[in-house]
Chain A
Amino acid sequence: MKKTSSLLNAFSAVIKRDLLLAYRFRAELINPLAFFVMVITLFPLALGAEIALLKRIAPAIIWVAALLASLMSIENLFRADYDDGSLELMVMTPHPLSILVLAKVIGHWLVSSVPLLFIAPLMGMMLHMDTDIIGVLMLTLLLGTPVLSLIGGIAVALTLGLRKGGALLAILVLPLYVPILIFASSAIDAAMTGFPVSGHLSMMCAILFLAFTLTPLPTAAALKMSLS
């Protein structure tokens, strides 16, 4: 019992610390958000005033932009901790590293993806999406972005020892993002054509839970490897 409470204590300490750090560097919080908005804004500019076309491809634009924004911010998930030695401290605790890794990923998701969720409906309106489709888009983003962070964590941990892991990270991670992108866009497609979306959303839920339980293990193992 004592062990569980001390683990919970450590878990929340990691999240709290990362949120506090994000707050201290709040200027950097804007980066993925600004990137997300900019990428989406480029499309209407490039495509011209074709409302029907924009409406059709808007969910895809928003999803790809969210994916790229997530990729951009995930790079820093363990970098600072690796450089200043706090990762070593995290490994040298009596708690399972995978649980603390999960805390870090959750902290990262709260900081980098949750703001996107708030601004995504605005982007949807800008691209003339219907309100009910925006609702489905939000649901897919809510279920999908944590998966992006969880999967990205593995690749970040693997490339931690490399000096310039950025490009390799993208090559490693983007293929793994494909399934979640496919399910998200098919859910939105279904919504647009008037079919029920619950099947697709359940599938995304399943992927989320799978990622939630499985990805921390390889991430923790890769982190230990990077430290040796």
Chain B
Amino acid sequence: MTNLNKLEAYQLSCVRDDRILFSELDFTLSSGQVLLIEGANGAGKTSLLRILTGFRRAESGHLFWNEELIENSVHFYQDTAYIGHNNGLKVALTAQENLRYAQALSSTTLNIDEAMAQVGLDGYQDTIVRLLSAGQQRRLALARLLCTHKPLWILDEPFTSLDRASIKLFEKFIETHANQGGLVIMTSHHETQLPHTLMQKIHL
């Protein structure tokens, strides 16, 4: 993660149901920065994130990851971790099995127990995810960020169903990640306070 990474967006626009959600959006995000996307419901926050993850094509405009178009970049998905509205967890598997699977897909081998302890789920390794509360499931999804080693985090409402202490904790993780040279793009309804990071805001 020591090398510098950069995500650049040129003239992005998104149209949904004949409505222009945003147009001519430009931004550059470099290592160590956090991009907070704000906006009312339906303003296109999630649409923007889905464009940034490559799931959706922008109506116009281009995205570059380290000067490569993300559609053509072999490194983009290697370097990106995404947490969407859904947690992406298999509720019939245990917490540990879920994280192992995520690691196998991204070919990383960091310590799972450590990541689980960090998100306050130590001792839940062998618990079936269905038996965890909504907040715990969210924390487990976020633990995926900690046990896969990816510079760019794209987070869609990461704090949903988290309690105040957990939100504080995750703001700290985001700060640490940014200060270690990571990049974070997130949407949030909560007042997100990250005083120790370079934060950009986009208001849609």
Contacts and interface: CB of A to CB of B under 8 A. Distances in A.
B97 interface: yes
The CB with the most chain A CB atoms within 10 A, among B56, B77, B104, B105, is that of B105
Chief secondary structure at chain A's binding surface: helix
B92 A24 contact: yes
Contacts of B105: 10, 13-14, 89-90, 93, 95, 100
Interface string A6-46: 10011011100100110011000000000000000000000
B178 interface: no
B82 A94 contact: no
Interface in A93-137: 93-95, 100
B92 A84 contact: no
Interface string B97-118: 1001110111100000000000
Contact of A20 (B82, B97, B102, B106): B97
Contacts of B54: 92
B55 A84 contact: no
Given A24-B93, A84-B90, A86-B88, A9 B53 contact: no
A21 B92 contact: yes
Contacts of B61: none
B90 A86 contact: yes
B50 A228 contact: yes
A94 B74 contact: yes
Interface residues of B, number: 31
Nearest to A13: B104
B6 to A, nearest CB: 19
Interface in B9-28: none
B91 interface: yes
Contacts, number: 76
Q: Top 10 A-B pairs ranked by shortest CB distance?
A: A85-B86, A13-B104, A6-B107, A85-B88, A94-B78, A24-B92, A228-B56, A93-B105, A89-B88, A86-B88
B91 A91 contact: no
Contacts of A12: 104
B112 to A, nearest CB: 14
B90 A94 contact: no
B84 interface: yes
Contacts of A14: 105
A92 B53 contact: yes
Interface string A60-92: 000000000000000000001001111011111
Given A9-B107, A17-B101, A84 B89 contact: yes
A227 interface: yes
B95 to A, nearest CB: 14
B57 interface: yes
A92 B77 contact: yes
B87 interface: yes
A111 to B, nearest CB: 14
A89 B82 CA distance: 7
Given A10-B107, A94-B78, A85 B55 contact: no
Contacts of A80: 90
Contacts of B97: 17, 20
Nearest to A86: B88
B104 A88 contact: no
A84 B86 contact: yes
A17 B92 contact: no
Given A88-B53, A88-B55, A90-B105, 4 more contacts: A13-B101, A85-B85, A88-B82, A228-B55
A219 to B, nearest CB: 17
A84 B87 CA distance: 7
